Amino acid sequence: MALCGLKACPFFPTKKMEQPELPGLLVNEVGRAYGVLEAHVDFLKKHFHLITMKEFLENKTYFSRKIKAIYLWWHRPVVDRELLQNLPNLKVIANSGVGMDNLDLKLVSGFGVKMANSPHAVSSSTADTGMTLLLASARRIVEASQIAVSPDIECFPGNWMGEEVTGATLGIIGMGNIGYKVALRANAFEMKILYHNRKEEEQAVGAIYCKKIENLLQQSDFVMLVVSLTPETHKLIGKRELELMKPTATLINICRGRIVDQDALVEALQTGVIKAAALDVTYPEPLPRDHPLLKLNNVIITPHLGIKTHKTTRMITEEAVANILAALNGLPMCSEVFPN
């Protein structure tokens, strides 16, 4: 009991030693659309004093100096100049996932703040998502499951068919970590694999390099987009590219919605320029409820579930925590991202 009669007084520590104060970690919220996962909270609290944006905004004076790191989940909280100016002790921002298109890297770096993403955690589950969408689209799984439970069905339609995946040609646009893992999986389905990348990569997976994206588009039965969103890749797939694709081809997008000219895609799907599409990403997410893509029969849309497994989300948080702790202890980070 302190002299002033309070059980615990901030100016006179009690005899029982307090735990050393954990560094403050700013997160958007817990759960809902853009919050860190409930299941990860205990783990985060082992290493950090967790502060939500709401708590921070309600008591900026108290919290602003305590926050040493930010953990972004689904690109939130939004990091702008104002936020950076209010966090004088901020050392590091860890982004969940691999895409960094939500951050102004130069701005953040200008404040002396380091940045990291979590590339190792995401590659397998995103590659799995790519194959899932490819197979689900080719074999018309969503449609089929609706037929199987439809109240109107008396017998299964005899002439109902999908496209064969084994032996088909897959064109991968973007042969980074994720693209490579997609190629490994597709290889086991005896698919012929073409790829287009900024540069040719040494491969053990038998993929054929297409220096010109046009060659890949013209030959592929399935075109899968696995690139980062940059000014160069924005609307990489537009009307011209869609018209180069086979009319029997399917476009699969597992990277960022803005890589595709969405209006051109709608038109291509409506007029049979390409056969079908499977999109885990759109812009915006979710699409407005009256968007034409939602009405088309030949498109599957999934709610950006590329990394959404219990295991991968856990690994992302673990990778982020490791990066943050390294930065706070003056050690190099495994997955530092530099503005370039």
Q: Which of residues 244-283 bind other proteins (CB under 8 A)?
A: none
256 is catalytic: yes
**110 is an interface residue for other proteins by CB under 8 A:** no
Structure tokens at 172: 């991968």
Residue 135 or 328: the one with the smaller Cβ distance to other proteins is 135
DSSP string, 77-126: S---HHHHHT-TT--EEEESSS--TTS-HHHHHHTT-EEE--HHHHHHHH
Partners of residue 195 on adjacent β-strands: 172, 209
The single residue of 201, 285, 318, 336 carrying the catalytic annotation is: 285
Query: ∠ CA 39-42-47 to the nearest 5 degrees?
Result: 130
Q: Which is nearer to other proteins, 82 or 152 (CB)?
A: 152
Neighbouring residues of 266: CB distance < 8 A, sequence distance ≥ 6: 292, 293, 296
Q: Which of 127, 216, 245, 273 binds other proteins (CB under 8 A)?
A: 127
Distance of CA 72 to the CA centre of its chain: 12
Sign of the C-alpha dihedral computed for residues 107, 177, 206 and 217 taken in this order: negative
Stretch that binds other proteins, among 61-69, 82-90, 98-106, 302-310 (CB under 8 A): 302-310
In angstroms, give the least distance from the CB of 255 to other proteins: 17
Residue type, 79: V
Strand, coil or helix: 301: strand
| Residue number with CB closer to other proteins (114 or 275) | 275
The helix (H) or strand (E) run that includes residue 278 is strand 276-279
Name the minimum Å distance from CB 183 to other proteins.
Answer: 10
The residue among 133 and 173 lying less far from other proteins, judged by its C-beta, is: 133
Q: Is 304 a catalytic residue?
A: yes
Which residues between 172 and 201 bind other proteins (CB under 8 A)?
Answer: 184-185, 187-190
Burial of 102 (0-12, 13-18, 19+ CB in 10 A): middle
Q: At closest approach, how far in Å is the CB of 107 from other proteins? A: 25
Task: Determine whether 291 is an active site residue.
Answer: no
Q: Are 53 and 82 in contact (CB under 8 A)?
A: no
- Inter-helix orientation angle 310-328/119-138, to 10°: 160
Residue 78 touches other proteins, criterion: CB under 8 A: no
- Count, residues near other proteins per rule CB under 8 A: 69
> Coil, strand, or helix at residue 276?
strand
Residues 312, 317, 323, 335: which binds other proteins (CB under 8 A)? 312
Give min distance, CB of 1 to other proteins, in A: 43
Hey, which residues between 35 and 64 contact other proteins (CB under 8 A)? 35-39
Other Cβ atoms within 10 Å of 55 Cβ, number: 15
C-beta of 113 vs 277, nearer to other proteins: 277
C-alpha 9/C-alpha 4 separation (Å) is 8
Nearer to other proteins, 197 or 312 (CB): 312
Q: What is the SS3 assignment for 170? A: strand
What's the distance, CA 313 to chain centroid? 11
68 binds other proteins (CB under 8 A): no
Output 145 or 270, the one with its CB closest to other proteins. 145
Distance set, CA 7 to CA 10, 186, 298 (Å): 10, 64, 66
Site residues (CB under 8 A) for other proteins, limited to 128-167: 128-129, 131-133, 135-136, 138-142, 144-145, 147-149, 151, 153-158, 160-167
Active-site residues: which are they? 256, 285, 304
Which residues are near other proteins by CB under 8 A? Answer: 31-39, 73-74, 124-125, 127-129, 131-133, 135-136, 138-142, 144-145, 147-149, 151, 153-158, 160-167, 184-185, 187-190, 285-287, 289, 294, 300-305, 308-313
